[in-house]
Amino acid sequence: MSLPDKTGVYGGGRMGAGIAHALLVAGADVVVVETDPEAAAKARTRIDANLARSVERGITATGVLSVTTDAADLSGAGLVIEAVPEIPGLKASVLASIELAARDAVIASNTSSLSIDGLAAGLAAAERFVGLHFFNPVPASALVEVVVGKATAAAVVAQAQEWVGDLGKSAITVADSPGFASSRLGVAIALEAMRMLEEGVATAEDIDTAMTLGYRHPVGPLRTTDLVGLDVRLDIADHLEHELGPRFAPPQLLRDKVEAGELGRKSGKGFYTW
């Protein structure tokens, strides 16, 4: 295993806790940085719960966890992954403090939609900055997108790919571009499925079954949209339309449903009733 002995995760929420868990199970020590003692305690509880579930499945973590509110504790880490909320200004300031605290670390962002080049613009050491896009829930997902910025050093890309393998996951390597590979493809299929529903081509169930039985997708595109949240997918489609053009224009049906509060599973109704 080539993972650094000491790693850091900045932000111990849903994704950060999952990433910390993956690192601990792979044998790396992890320092999780949170905003305040209350958030730090919550992060520890989340990670401990993930670890307890692993133990039930016979997987023991050999890495040591520490949770802190002081970014200086990242000193000496070889890899620090940022997983704070998707707010550009917040990410920029967090990345700058990682750069200061962990002077030799590879710095990664788990952003799902922001440009890696945009985030790199504020860094002095942009060559050691890369996107590592994990999926939710982290323990159950096999994929990590390694997102390569214009300034990312080739050695950093190679190192990141190897580390993803150390975490027991598969890396795909994607140039920094809107929606990377996964969101762009996933949203493209979902928007076409919505247009088909709008045009009365088939029912939601039959459109989903076209993909589950026809293409072995585990879940159809409309059900996936219900699980992700229609509002979340509308935001991504708006962003991709802005960046990539009208082929990502959200169908009126999606706008109408979001307007009506039909957001998918979380609101009880989306393309399906939950």
Ligand X SMILES: NC(=O)c1ccc[n+]([C@@H]2O[C@H](COP(=O)([O-])OP(=O)(O)OC[C@H]3O[C@@H](n4cnc5c(N)ncnc54)[C@H](O)[C@@H]3O)[C@@H](O)[C@H]2O)c1
Q: In the complex, which residues of this chain contact ligand X (CB under 6 A)?
A: 10-16, 33-35, 39, 43, 83-86, 90, 94, 110-112, 134-136
Instruction: State which amino acid sits at residue 8.
Output: G
* Burial class for 191, CB neighbours closer than 10 Å (0-12, 13-18, 19+): buried
Residue closer to ligand X (CB basis): 94 or 191: 94
> Smallest gap, in angstroms, from Cβ of residue 91 to ligand X?
7
Nearest residue (CB) to ligand X, 12 versus 78:
12
As measured in angstroms, the least distance from the Cβ of 58 to ligand X is 27
Alpha helices in the chain (DSSP H): 14-25, 37-56, 88-101, 116-120, 154-166, 182-198, 204-215, 221-228, 230-244, 252-259
Instruction: Report, in Å, the least distance between residue 59 CB and ligand X.
Output: 22
CA pair distance 40, 105, nearest whole angstrom: 22
Q: H or E segment at 33?
A: strand 29-33
**Least Å distance between CB 203 and ligand X?**
28
**Minimal distance, residue 110 CB to ligand X, in Å:** 4
Nearer to ligand X, 84 or 164 (CB): 84
**Are 47 and 12 contacting, i.e. CB atoms less than 8 angstroms apart?**
yes
Nearer to ligand X, 110 or 197 (CB): 110
- Name the minimum Å distance from CB 2 to ligand X: 24
Closest to ligand X by CB, 38 or 198:
38
Is-contact 109 92, C-beta < 8 A?
no
Contact by Cβ (8 Å): 135, 83? no
Handedness of CA 8, 168, 138, 56 (dihedral sign): negative
Helix and strand element counts for the chain (H, E): 10, 8
Hey, what are 9's tokens? 């995760």
Nearer to ligand X, 70 or 198 (CB): 70
Question: What are the beta bridge partners of residue 58?
Answer: none
Residue of closest CB approach to ligand X:
13
Nearer to ligand X, 111 or 152 (CB): 111
Q: Minimum distance between the CB of residue 183 and ligand X, rounded to whole angstroms?
A: 9
